[in-house]
Amino acid sequence: MPVNIRYSWMTWRWQILLLLLLLTFCFSLPSSAAKTDSVRVYTEEHPLVYVDNSHLWPYSFLNDKDEPEGFCVDLVRMLMEELNIPYVIKLEPEREVVNDMKEGRGDLTFGLGMGFNNDYGNFGSRAITLLTQSVVTPRSKPIEIKSFRDMNKPGLKVIVSNSSLCHHLMRDYGWGEHAVVTHDMDEAILQLSKKKEGQIVWNTLSLKWLIHYYNIDNVVLTPVDMPHGSYRFMSNDQHLLDLLDDAYAKLYMAGKITPLQEKWFFPEHQESEALRWVWYLTAMAGLLLLIAILYILSNWIQNRRVTVASNKLNRRLALIIETSKVRIWTYDVKTNEVAWHNEKGQVTYTYTMEEFSHRYREDDFRQLREALDRLISQHKDAHGHEEEEETLELKAKDLEGGDHELHDFVVVLSVLRRDKNGKPTAIIGIKKDVTEKLRLKRLEDERTLRYWSIFYSQDAAIIYFGKDGYLQNINPKASEICQRHSDDMIDEHIHINDFFKTSFTDLSAVDKYQGVQKVYQANIEYQLKTVFNDEDELLGIFAFCREATNNPKSE
């Protein structure tokens, strides 16, 4: 009997232990799964796969040895080393890059932060570089494309890279018939140079790189006034994008990105080692000469400085105080205190730097502190030239006036006094409120953007006549309805009376009686609308046109 009891107790104990192990395992599963789902971990066995275009010079391309090169390639290598992430680089044609990102075979690439790329991944918040557009034309031919709308000239053909920004825009505007699409841009530019015919619109730096690489001297590269794109990190791993944005900002502040930009975007700035040594020796000789001059003239400068400084201080303060809507303060380098001056130049408040910082946002005060440090570390040169100024745009509170709201200010800093060794002992700050000016500028920019967005819409046909009645602009839709090229109509300087074959003796009265004046001409209906400014002065007349099904008499 005791044997059976012991056996039952041992069996029961092992069952409890097994149950506890099972429960521990089950409770641990959700936590592990959640962690795996939220953050992708890249290892040597499963490294990050960076895919990119193999023909996008100088950003990413395969060199003569089929090795990956370019600005983006070097940047990824630097970032992966900074983040300690194992990776592989895979350069391939553009269409394969898109498929790899869409189907999950690629973890990271670069792309234009525009709507047509949204299906292939998310974008980082930082613009790595801007892709501007230029046109390559044979040197013997006239330049026909200077702005984006020139690409819609009748009979014009433009060579564009497949799925490039220019290609997408031309299709969006319905100008695809003018595009000659190529997948091989280096062959296209070689043929253009050889035949001395055609024109190519593509990324400015890519075209510049090809011209330099193939040593082409019979073409010209001209900027095109058209929208540009921002090149950003692109990935389906948002955590990776956040890491890359932070690491890029850190490297940029450390000055490690600029050498890459110089290397790939501005190779003409790269000097040979021999010339660099010549420059160094010349600079050293110049520095020694400058030191000698400074030594000889230092006594004269020191004696003259004391008298000039006093007179200069009085003139500067008097001029500043007379300026309207300007506040001034002075910073004492030795005591690390700020003195606030009233309109008579008298000190009304004195603050420690800690107290003074409360009126600024943290980042704005950091900029102010850095600017002060830069001025303090400067010296006048041997010729007694004026010290440099620092101009900052900051947000701050005007606490002396009882205003606790943040305003936009322009702050100009300059050295007010120096000691006998030429080191700054006092800095003067001139502060001007530009809040209203910036608000009006933003409002004007928004109005301008809305105007052009509506004017160049493909859904509305619009003609604009100035306040003097002469045609000023016509959008592509209206040009299509009128069956005339917009540039030709603008160049003819057509008056509204001639355009509608009628007489408007008072342009401002066009729509004052019936809201909108309608005019019919041929098979087209026009609705005329006058536009006035805030002072009720006529700015011009907009004509909205559409094809009509009948021809009633002009109203």
Q: Looking at per-residue confidence, does 520 or 524 come out higher?
A: 524
Longest CA span, the chain: 126
Paired strand residues for 347: 341
Determine which of 76-85, 206-215, 257-266, 303-312 has the lowest per-residue pLDDT on average: 303-312
The number of helix segments (H) and strand segments (E) in the chain equals 15, 25
How far CA 80 is from CA of 15, 23, 73, 97, 250, in Å, comes to 50, 40, 11, 20, 13
The whole-number pLDDT of residue 339 equals: 87
Find, among 71, 104, 108, 103, the residue nearest to 89 by Cα.
108
Determine which of 8-22, 81-95, 338-352, 406-420 has the lowest per-residue pLDDT on average: 8-22
In which residue are the tokens 């296209």 written? 188
DSSP 159-199: EEETT-HHHHHHHHTT-GGGEEEES-HHHHHHHHHHHT---
Find, among 42, 56, 130, the residue nearest to 88 by Cα.
42
The encoded tokens of residue 334 equal 């030795």
Give the integer Cα–Cα distance in Å for 99 and 104.
8
- Mean pLDDT value of segment 275-299: 75
Q: Which one-letter DSSP state was computed for residue 72? A: H
- Mean pLDDT value of segment 257-268: 87
Q: Which of 192-206, 394-408, 463-477 has the highest mean pLDDT?
A: 192-206
- Mean pLDDT value of segment 178-200: 93
Read off φ and ψ for residue 146, nearest 5 degrees. Answer: -120, -25
Mean pLDDT over the full length of the chain: 81
Give the integer Cα–Cα distance in Å for 57 and 290.
44
Give the integer Cα–Cα distance in Å for 490 and 303.
67
Beta 390-397 vs 347-352: how paired, if at all? unpaired
Paired strand residues for 530: 541
Q: Provide the edge-to-edge strand list for the sheet that holds 326-332.
A: 347-352, 337-341, 326-332, 424-433, 406-418, 390-397
The encoded tokens of residue 126 equal 């930082």
In which residue are the tokens 């003569």 written? 64
The model's pTM is 0.45
Residue type, 124: G
Find, among 185, 166, 179, the residue nearest to 56 by Cα.
185
Q: Is the separation of the CB atoms in 206 and 115 below 8 Å? A: no
pLDDT tens across 393-424, in order? Answer: 888 887 666 667 788 888 889 888 888 888 88
